[in-house]
Amino acid sequence: MSSEEEIRGRIEDALERTLGDLAVGTRLRRAMEHALLGGGKRIRPLLCVEACRCVGAPAQRAIRAGVAIEMVHAFSLVHDDLPAMDDDDLRRGMPTVHVAFDEATAILAGDALLNGAYRVLCGPDAGPGTSLIEELSEATARMIEGQMLDITGGARTIEDVRRVHELKTGSLMRCACRMGAICGGADEETIEQLGSFGLHLGLLFQATDDLIDAEQAEETAGKATGKDAALGRPTLVGLLGVDGTRDEVVRLVGVCRDLLDGLDGGRLLSLCERIASRTR
């Protein structure tokens, strides 16, 4: 059985290889590397690979799917950080792509990452045909809707905020788990169960994000904090308070645990618990 460290290593190798056919040293490639290889948590590819493993299939089968999801995630961060959107200068303790390069390069690098995700899912050893592409494109469409809803400030109530979290973060984490399960040859019911786990993990991730935002200084979090509140965007903490949001985190961990019932999901549960207690 591969350790998580080994799997992380394989994911990083595969991420680097995806840019392999773009001429080295060009501005576009450097911007994509900055966005994709700048040390993310790799939660989505890990989810994908672990969902595959927990239905009894080897990790290797889900690496490409995990890479594709991470590219979509990286694209979304690059575009969300743009001045016209969230206008963030800092991401993972580093300048965001439009700061390190320029806006035009950031727009194009994001486009190329999104497009590249679909290239990764093609080719002879790409796995189960167009079903993964369909999963990824539907989830990405929902994620984009979520970002639109978020920036137009449609969210007012707790239900609105949950809806934004579900679309912006839940969609892709749900998709990561579903794709992993599909790669592992799971039945429809198990794909659905793991997808629901991923969705709730996304809600959990956003709840902890709101807590970090409310409690942490910028330096510790590695990115701008307190921004949503300053923009007048309602957050879970704003609506439920810090204690109420902590209760929500505990509730969501319970939901996630229940959703792993009957599966060999020890690593997924451990990932869930690490997310619940994360400080950045």
Site of interaction with a second copy (CB under 8 A): 22, 26-28, 75, 79, 82, 84-85, 102-105, 107-108, 110-112, 114-116, 118-119, 121-123, 126, 129-131, 133-134, 136-138, 140-141, 144-145, 147-148, 151-152
Q: Tokens standing for 96?
A: 């965001």
With H, G, I as helix, E, B as strand and everything else as coil, classify residue 89: coil
Backbone dihedral angles phi then psi of residue 210, each to the nearest 5 degrees: -65, -35
| Nearest distance from C-beta of residue 151 to a second copy, angstroms | 5
85 or 242: whose CB is closer to a second copy? 85
| Nearest distance from C-beta of residue 175 to a second copy, angstroms | 12
Q: Count CA within 13 A, CB hemisphere, residue 138.
A: 11
Q: What does the longest C-alpha to C-alpha distance in the chain come to?
A: 51
| Nearest distance from C-beta of residue 27 to a second copy, angstroms | 6
> CB–CB of 100/34 below 8 Å?
yes
136 or 263: whose CB is closer to a second copy? 136
6 or 138: whose CB is closer to a second copy? 138
| Nearest distance from C-beta of residue 168 to a second copy, angstroms | 12
- For residue 80, give the amino acid letter: D
> What's CA 79's distance to the chain center, in Å?
14
167 or 252: whose CB is closer to a second copy? 167
For residues 191 and 197, what is the distance between their CA atoms, to the nearest angstrom? 10
